[in-house]
Amino acid sequence: MNAHSDTATARPYVMVLGALLLLTAVTVAAASVDFESASVNVVIALTIATFKASLVALYFMHLRHDKLLNSIIFLSGLAFLALFLIFCLIDAGSRKHVQPSDLKAPPAATATQ
């Protein structure tokens, strides 16, 4: 008997749809909250996006029913992406905010009637 059945029911896909819609609502709610730091907002947004992309890859791209090696390759790709993004956030956070030396004030607006 084949471990992978070609007859699929709609229930898992409806559940994944509900999870994706819920995560989309969480993304919108998280975007409206100020977490005192831009890097925290980015980390939260990328974490939610990673969960959503993982659900899409697992169910709609059928990675869940594929060979274990393909899942390992997918997860290692996500791990390396997270590692590189963490290095970028560390680098950006360690720099001080630099103002341009030739920064000029904007011209005063004139009222025309």
68-75 mean pLDDT: 86
For the chain, domain boundaries: 11-93
Give the span between the Cα atoms of 58 and 19, in whole angstroms: 13
pLDDT score at 21: 96
Give the residue-averaged pLDDT of 88-103: 77
pTM summary value: 0.62
How many alpha carbons lie under 13 Å from residue 95 in its C-beta half-sphere? 9
Average predicted confidence (pLDDT) for the chain: 83
Average pLDDT (72-87) is 88
pLDDT band at 98 (very low <50, low <70, confident <90, very high): low
**83/4 Cα distance (integer angstroms):** 33
Query: What does the pLDDT read at residue 59?
Result: 87
